[in-house]
Amino acid sequence: MIDADTMTARQKTLALLALVVALVLEIVDLTIINTALPAIQADFGGDAQASQWIIAGYALAFALLLMAGGRLGDTYGYRRMFLWGVAGFTLSSALCGAAGSGTELVLARLLQGATGALMAPQFMALMQVMFQPVERISKLAMFGVIGGLAAIIGPIIGGLLIEANTLGLGWRLIFLINLPVGMIAMVMGYIYLPEARSGRPAGVDLRGIVLFGLAIAALLWPLVRGDHGAPGATEWALLAAAGPLGWLGWRHVSRRVAEGRAALFDPSLFTNRPFAIGMALSVAFAAANAGFLMCFAFALQAERGQTPLTTGLMHVPFGFGAMVGIAVLGRRFLPRWGRWVLVLGGVVMAASCAVILLGIGVLGLEFAVLVPALVTAGLGMGMLSGCINPVAVAQVDRDHAGAASGLLKTGQQAGAALGIALVGSAYFAGATLTGHPGSATALYALLPLLLGCALLAAQLPATIFAKALAH
């Protein structure tokens, strides 16, 4: 087995490549599904609710089990859980491709989300084990660029595969293509990834998993349920129960840690100021980003009459700006400017998104004007998204690597669901109530989220990485 503390530069590079292959597998699978939904719906007789749950079921299972996945990595080893996660993701992809009905496909997607939750937290945990805090900035910047490219090409690959219809498999190819990619990730991970785990008390905190799982489910179910109708009494009751369930879970893990027993996570993580602010930033930024992208796509088609293809192409300038923001601005300036990179990112993204959404529905700006605004919005987005994770874990002890990664990913998933609900409600309901285009009313929810990110970032310590290096 490879020891993380004695790895050479070449070994670290090869280990990083193994993580990159799995990252591409996860992100492409997440974005490619949107292209295939119409074909899947037509194949299974127009079951709209099943089609919606193909996405929502994955998101719910993924969010519910992320914290457990992080803790399992702490207990049984990050490499081992990564390999099990990739294996399960690959197998569930095969089940998706072989599904004979909408129900079977939804069940396979639930399994895919669950195994993805086992795999995903190990990315950050292994990065934390292999690299020092400042080193992580450039490595995570590379992850951001590759992730951005994967998100852009995912729908394109989906369209090409469905159009090719090789062997008459149609949309099934978007899942079956994961098999060779997953096998490559498993082989590379087995050979090159280091063996590491937490020094905390070993074991699985089942009660903590259940309590926090119920809290997350109570929060997310009303937001990602398949029918997308107005919340009823059940949904409001679940939302009201999320807080008490979370409090019970917090009290439980606090008691377990005080007794020296294994817990889902150590609440003392939140006494680490960069991590606590990073968690809040993860939620707020994910909400703003998911809400903006949803409203942008809707507004282009509903308010400007653009085709899905044109709408997809209009995302390219945003993706390009995001990659530059992550790989160039964030990587180069975060070690020197620290928190001000994130503050600037939040302000730039807020101003640019306001120009874009007002330009679509109120000002009627030409695409020649919207494209530069999309690039600058992407730059702001990249300066935020590329910096949040390295800042959040800069001063986190390696023994908490898996739990910290699982918490951050859970925050991002919860934030995305909240953003779609909040900004989406402002888009759809606001237009009805005010008579203004939804692209304009969405800003009532979007701008506070982005400016809130800037304010949160301003509260970060001035010397995040200097203190990390001192330890």
The pLDDT of residue 280 is: 92
Domains of the chain plus CATH, in order, are 1-198 (1.20.1250.20), 205-261 (no CATH), 271-471 (1.20.1250.20)
pLDDT digits 0-9 by tens, 144-155: 667 767 766 666
The pLDDT of residue 373 is: 92
The pLDDT of residue 227 is: 47
SS3 letters for the chain? CCEHHHCCHHHHHHHHHHHHHHHHHHHHHHHHHHHHHHHHHHHCCCCHHHHHHHHHHHHHHHHHHHHHHHHHHHHHCHHHHHHHHHHHHHHHHHHHHHCCCHHHHHHHHHHHHHHHHHHHHHHHHHHHHHCCHHHHHHHHHHHHHHHHHHHHHHHHHHHHHHHHCHHHCHHHHHHHCHHHHHHHHHHHHHHHCCECCCCCCCCCCHHHHHHHHHHHHHHHHHHHCCCCCCCCHHHHHHHHHHHHHHHHHHHHHHHHHHCCCCCCCCHHHHHCHHHHHHHHHHHHHHHHHHHHHHHHHHHHHHCCCCCHHHHHHHHHHHHHHHHHHHHHHHHHHHHHHCHHHHHHHHHHHHHHHHHHHHHHHCCCCCHHHHHHHHHHHHHHHHHHHHHHHHHHCCCCCHHHHHHHHHHHHHHHHHHHHHHHHHHHHHHHHHHHHHCCCHHHHCHHHHHHHHHHHHHHHHCCCCCHHHHHHHC
The pLDDT of residue 468 is: 44
The pLDDT of residue 448 is: 93
The pLDDT of residue 239 is: 84
The pLDDT of residue 84 is: 94
Q: Which stretches of the chain score pLDDT less than 70?
A: 1, 3-5, 31, 34-35, 37-38, 45-52, 56, 133, 136-137, 140-141, 143-145, 148, 151-156, 159, 198-203, 223-231, 307-309, 312, 401-402, 430-435, 465-471
